[in-house]
Chains A and B, each alone.
Chain A
Amino acid sequence: MNFSFHGGRVSGLLCVLPAREQSFLEDMKHFDFPESRSRKLMEVMGYDKHRLVESGACVSDLAVCGLQYLFDRGLLGRDDFDALILVTQSPDHFMPPTSNIIQGRLNLKQDLLCLDLNQGCAGFVIGLIEAFLLLQQESVRKVVLINADVLSRKTSPQDRNSYPLVGDAAAITVVERGQADVEIHASVKMDGTRNETLMIPAGGFRMPCTPETAALEDVGDHNLRAKDHLRMDGSAVFNFVQVEVPPLIESLLAEAGVAKDSVDYFLCHQPNRFMLQKLADKMKVPHAKIPMNVVEHFGNSSGVTIPVVTAFNLGARLTQEQFQVCFAGFGVGLTWSAMLMNLGPLPFCQMIQYPGGEQL
């Protein structure tokens, strides 16, 4: 389905990456697999390093670190936003909403709509849609969108289909009113019949965590995983992306009346380099227009990868220039989404480390 918005814009982007970095060569030690095949996996998928939180670190820790950084530097006023949207699949607790926890930890005002959204790899576009919808209210002048996940904590180190690519991160995107004559187009599709393609089977009410769900099982290819862990059907995800994403982007561009060539960058979710290369080929877009270097530097942090790919590749330029960008997120749900907008110049577009807030 299609959305269009008038008069909204992104006015700042901050990514928060864990300071802890782990290399694929370290990951390999946990795999029961010939080393030559692991090296092949590394080469084909583009694995190198990924950023993982220390055990115990939660989504609200990353988010509070980022917001405090912005408050301290005068990049965001603590009373200047009227809604706080958190998109995550790894909340601190089932209840209360983690957005309320963030509000409380920072002593934010009570006239603030706090909203948790359960979305994954498409969660940046979904969050932006929600933010633009809220901005249509008179009382909402500015929205803070937080995308954050610490899914490494739910990934088996002995599952080489998931662990080498996973990363943790948070991103804070400030969304506010802009010129009324500027239109933003978005398109979203969902298919719940394929909801098991990416899932954490245990830990909810359907299958509560027990000693049995914590037991590691050989799930083929000598990969060990428990029902408490994230499970990803890599082949099904690959087919899904190749089949569904290019037509979604084509139809969005047609709807907006924008030629593919006039899009400066396609800022896509970052599953791994392999899938993005194949996606670029399928879309017939030059690889230079689809940055695909996030997994090798930071890992795949679900809904945070679009902010990370943006800040990492275009951060400095976006503080000076404007680009026409197409965001595209795809994954859990299944959900696939794309949004076309003019991005920049932004007052800030940067990356910091957690803990400490040191600039990256």
Chain B
Amino acid sequence: MTTALETIKSAIDGNDVVLFMKGTQNFPQCGFSATVAKILQHVGVEFADVNVLADPEIRQGIKDFSEWPTIPQLYVKGEFVGGCDIVREMFETGELKAFLAEKGVKLDEAA
């Protein structure tokens, strides 16, 4: 039996970029989650998504794990980057691409 915490840790450890979100990247079910998914798609980064609506234990578990009260939550190479507001601000200032590049995350330049 895998616990929610183990699932969360393996998603973070097993993916360079992972978004804990409501819905999926192709079918987001919350405006904030949709915004972050769209930004990541726009900068051309491939990312894994974890739909917190599919499992209430993960929905609460990721909030406890990150000590962050809202969804979505973005992790890059094991590091918590932030939620919708922070990702949006980083995108608007150009920091997001620089941050991803610095972390060695491959971007699809055609995007």
Mutual binders A and B: no
Interface residues of A (CB under 8 A from B): none
Interface residues of B (CB under 8 A from A): none
